Amino acid sequence: MRLPLFSSLLACAAAAKAQVTIYGVFGSTTTAASSQSTPGPSSTIYQTVHGPATYTGLEAYNQVYLQPPPIPSPAPANQFTISLPNAAAGMNALSVPQAPTFFGFSIEMSVANQLIGTNSSRLHVPFLNLMALIVEKAGAVHVRVGGNTQDTAFMVDSFPDGKMMEKDKEDASNPTSTPVLAFTPDLLYMLANVSSLVNCHWYLGVPFNDTANWRLEIAELGEAILGDHLLGFQAGNEPDLYGKHGHRNLSYSEWDYFGEFSLLTQAYQNDAKITNKKSLIAPSTAGGNWPVGQSVLGPEPVWNTGFVQAYDQWLSALAVERYPNENCAAIYPTPDNPPVDLIDAFPQFLTHQTGLDTVKDYLNSTMLAQTWGKPFLMFETNTASCGGFMGISDAFAAALWGVDWALQLANSNFTGALFHAGGQNVAYNPFTAPPTNQSAFHQWTIGPIFYSAIVVTEALGTSNTSRVKDLFPNDGNSLTPAYAIYENDQLARMVLINFMDDPTGANDYTANIQVGGQQFGEGNSVPAQVKVKYLLAPSVSEKDNITWAGQTLGGRFQVDGRWKGTESVQTVQCDQTANTCPIKVPAPGAALVFISDAAQQGAAAPESYSTFPTTVVTKTANTVSVDASVLATSNGNSGKDRANRLGGTSQGGANAAAGTYGVRAERAAIVSAFAGVVVGGMVMFTRALW
């Protein structure tokens, strides 16, 4: 067992949680076993009939499993060559340079208290840990707090019960009956407190429901409280749906939005408390609604109003929102809109074609954004809107889809993508807290999308120079896609995906990577060896046993935000004479191949971590003095030095934490030493246990 540096619950850390293997209709999968004391997942539903899921509990913890789609006949070739130049100059149509923070998260505002913290003095430690995992790879993480709930949200000074937010109903995934949310400035202090511990940067939103009475407090205070951890304010969340969702007249058009945006800029201009006027993000259209009566999927109708030219001085970034599918009929079934058939929907998330089909609506716009000099963000995305699909959005398939989709967006010159978390009644969350009445014995649940985040973040590296290229190998077979990442103008890494599911191994593939050579006017450039990290699970339907480089965050209700197990980075010997490197990719799975010297050094190199001691003293929940160097403490990837670098701690007392400092330590952050401060009485600590 790994050292629980800090764990949400002593009880959980101590409880031995058995795993059982269920032999279902399609082979084996693992699921967390329940015991008397931990009423967790208890029954597994194998959905073998066509139609929507029949599960009626909280979707985030559903027990629905689908049979993986069959291997097509004929199957794609399982041996093929990918030739590519070593120098970026030899590769056409590389993307714009991408930052390591490309893959971020979007948190529905109404669930910020479930996911981020109860209030500014009670942050949720698993959230801090998970963000620290991204920060360790990227130096920072971008998180949006907003969504449907932001448009009618309003700020109050305080609530009589001392809470940070109140809402009038729970279901934020339901776009037409969105809860009305009231919050206090403590929400912003909470985000600031997160940023003081883990390098989170925040996107917020200006409420857009009332254009006669703008409520700009979130911008005024957001700027003041978050400072340079503030990224910008979305102005209008899917405004093209305002008509359909009853927030405006049905005739509400891109021109109406243009006019309302003008009113906002006037209010913004006149608000002396807002010092940075170029902080708005728009138009965040969902697509398919404008011009009214037509269905252009991209944001062209908005561009055609001259929006960007008119509001250039206010716009820090352009954005759209898009899910490749939707499950709204599950919430509002009508005769002409039957619920989506899960079995039919499953293959959509196991093909490269879905990303291509979805991104094509934005290719004109991402080129335009370059000419306008504006970042272009996918502000909210995930597998399917209106909650996702049980058995798909929360299965390994979604992890592979998420890697492919995020890299497709990067390849297509988006400059960031935020994957949405919506609460306990949706299936697609990257991470989910336990239901409140189970928080005493359950930990968090990780979604497959979080693994996508880790893979893509590592794939992009830290230099801000990574340019991505979709390679279409294997005759463009949609089940075996691959991407190249050029960093500092040289091939650095590749990502190879195998969307097939075949436990026999017959559809594992081997890609022979060939770098440089005469055809590119370069010398043979395959290195003597490459390093490889795998994203794996026994099946595309797996929910609990997903591993990245041999480590897992844990099955449902078992996640405290730290890796479990020992990291394993494979070394693959290449044939420099033949100039090829054979990379095997299991069905299903994804491989991140580290090719350049710099990339290979950046692939986890446990030996290069050294340790150093730091001391942290906590006095009471709100007075704390912290040795800044502990911010650089990593919770690390390898077990090797763990004994030295992670310290025991006890609640509310004097804590000692030993940190690690190594090759990537300047980008690493962990919040261990703060846990006593952060979480007050909520968290108990465990001493170093193995």
Ligand X SMILES: *[C@@H]1O[C@H](CO)[C@@H](O)[C@H](O)[C@H]1NC(C)=O
Binding site for ligand X (CB under 6 A): 19, 21, 30, 39, 93, 95-96, 99, 118-122, 152, 154, 162, 180, 186, 189, 193, 196, 209-210, 249, 251, 298, 300, 361, 363-364, 366, 370, 411-413, 435, 437-438, 462-464, 536-538, 545, 547, 622, 624, 677
> Minimum distance from CB of 580 to ligand X (Å)?
26
Q: List all residues 6 or more positions away from 373 whose beta carbon is below 8 Å from its beta carbon.
A: none
Taking the C-alpha atoms of residue 55 and residue 51, their distance in angstroms, rounded to an integer, is 12
Shortest gap between Cβ of 149 and ligand X (angstroms)?
A: 10
Q: Are 493 and 459 in contact (CB under 8 A)?
A: yes
Distance (Å, whole) CA 302 – CA 240: 10
CB-wise, 86 or 547, nearer to ligand X?
Answer: 547
The C-alpha atoms of residue 178 and residue 208 are separated, in whole angstroms, by 14
Q: Which one, 345 or 631, has the nearer CB to ligand X?
A: 631
Residue showing tokens 């479930």:
114
CB of 70 to ligand X, least distance (A): 20
Question: Which residue pairs, CB below 8 angstroms and at least 24 apart, start in 157-166?
Answer: 157/184, 157/185, 158/184, 159/184, 162/119, 163/113, 163/119, 164/113, 164/118, 164/119, 164/120, 164/190, 165/110, 165/112, 165/113
- Within the chain, what is the greatest distance between any pair of CA atoms? 74
CB of 189 to ligand X, least distance (A): 4
User: 156 or 643, CB closer to ligand X?
Assistant: 156
Q: Which CB, 473 or 538, lies closer to ligand X? A: 538
Of the pair 249, 601, the CB lying nearest ligand X is at 249
Please tell me the distance from the alpha carbon of residue 565 to that of residue 644, in angstroms, as a whole number.
17
Instruction: Please report how close the Cβ of residue 436 comes to ligand X at its closest, in angstroms.
Output: 8
Kindly tell me which of 238 and 641 has the beta carbon lying closer to ligand X: 238
DSSP H or E segment with residue 66: strand 64-66
Angle, helices 217-226 vs 186-197, to 10°: value is: 30
Instruction: Kindly tell me the sign of the dihedral angle through the C-alpha atoms of 140, 429, 400, 413.
Output: negative
CB of 152 to ligand X, least distance (A): 4
CB of 575 to ligand X, least distance (A): 28
615: which strand partners? 656
- Minimum CB distance to ligand X smaller for 329 or for 564: 564
Q: How far is the CB of 578 from ligand X (least distance, A)?
A: 30
Nearer to ligand X, 119 or 478 (CB): 119
Q: How far is the CB of 476 from ligand X (least distance, A)?
A: 15
> Is the CB of 438 or the CB of 650 nearer to ligand X?
438
Q: Write out the DSSP string of 297-330.
A: -SSHHHHTTTHHHHHTTTEEEEEEE--SEE-GGG
Residue in the structure block whose two tokens are 């007392």:
653
Least Å distance between CB 570 and ligand X?
Answer: 14
Which C-beta is closer to ligand X: that of 113 or that of 351? Answer: 113
Q: Which strand (E) or helix (H) includes residue 364?
A: helix 363-372
Of 437, 415, 404, whose CA–CA distance to 316 is shortest?
A: 415
Q: Using alpha carbons, select from 260, 141, 167 the residue that is nearest to residue 206.
A: 260
